[in-house]
Amino acid sequence: MLQSPGIVKIQAKQKTSFQIVPNSQYDYKLKRVVKGFAKKSLEYRLEKATELSLKYVNGSNRKQKPSGLSIDERAFGKDVYIIDSNHDIHITNEMKTTSKQLLVSVRYLNNKNEIVKKFVDGARGLARTWEKKGHTASRSVIRGSMMHFGILRGAGNQRYFYFRPTKHDTNGANRWHKKANIAAKFLSKRLFPGAFHSIQSTMKFNEMSIPRIIGGKHGLCTEMIQSQQALVTEPHVDLDCSKCLSIWTVEFGKEKKTDGWYFVLPYLTCEVNQKQYRGVAIKLRHCTAIEWDG
246 Ramachandran zone, left/alpha/beta (phi>0; psi -120 to 50): beta
Within a domain: 53: yes
Determine the Cα–Cα distance for residues 38 and 176; give it in Å rounded to an integer. Answer: 41
pTM above 0.75, yes or no: yes
- β 262-272/81-83 pair status: unpaired
- Higher per-residue pLDDT: 30 or 10: 10
- CA nearest 22: which of 9, 5, 39? 39
How buried is 101 (Cβ within 10 angstroms: 0-12 exposed, 13-18 middle, 19+ buried)?
A: exposed
Which H helix or E strand runs over 193?
Answer: helix 193-205
Is residue 215 very low, low, confident or very high in pLDDT (cuts 50, 70, 90)? very high
* pLDDT tens digits, one per residue of 182-203: 999 999 999 999 999 999 998 8
Burial of 106 (0-12, 13-18, 19+ CB in 10 A): buried
Chain centroid offset of residue 41 CA: 30
The rounded distance, in Å, linking the Cα atoms of 245 and 195 is 7
Separation of first and last alpha carbons in the chain: 28
Percent of the chain with pLDDT over 90: 37
What pLDDT digit, counting tens, does each position of 56-94 carry? 544 444 455 567 777 777 768 888 999 999 999 999 887
Count up the domains in the chain and report the number: 1
Element (H, E) at 160: strand 158-163
Residue 215 lies in a domain: yes
- Residue 233 placed within a domain: yes
3-state secondary structure of 187: helix
Residue 244: name the closest of 289, 274, 277, 213 by CA.
289
CA distance 124 to 279: 31
| Residue 1 maps to a domain | no
CA dist 287 → 33, 115, 233, 251, 256 (Å)? 31, 12, 20, 11, 11
Express each pLDDT in 87-109 by its tens digit.
999 998 876 556 667 899 999 99
Full residue range of the structural domain in which residue 43 is found:
8-292
Residue 98 maps to a domain: yes
Assess if residue 171 is contained within a domain. yes
Q: In what order do the strands lie in the sheet with 145-155?
A: 158-163, 145-155, 223-228
Separation CA 229–CA 235 (nearest Å): 18
For residue 274, what are the contacts with CB-CB under 8 A and spacing of at least 6? none
2 within some domain: no
235-261 pLDDT, tens digit each: 555 556 678 899 999 888 888 777 778
Higher-pLDDT residue of 208, 138: 208
Preceding peptide of 165 cis, ω within 30°: yes
> With 0-12 CB in 10 A as exposed, 13-18 as middle and 19+ as buried, what is 135?
middle
At a CB cut-off of 8 Å and minimum separation 6, what does 1 contact?
110, 113
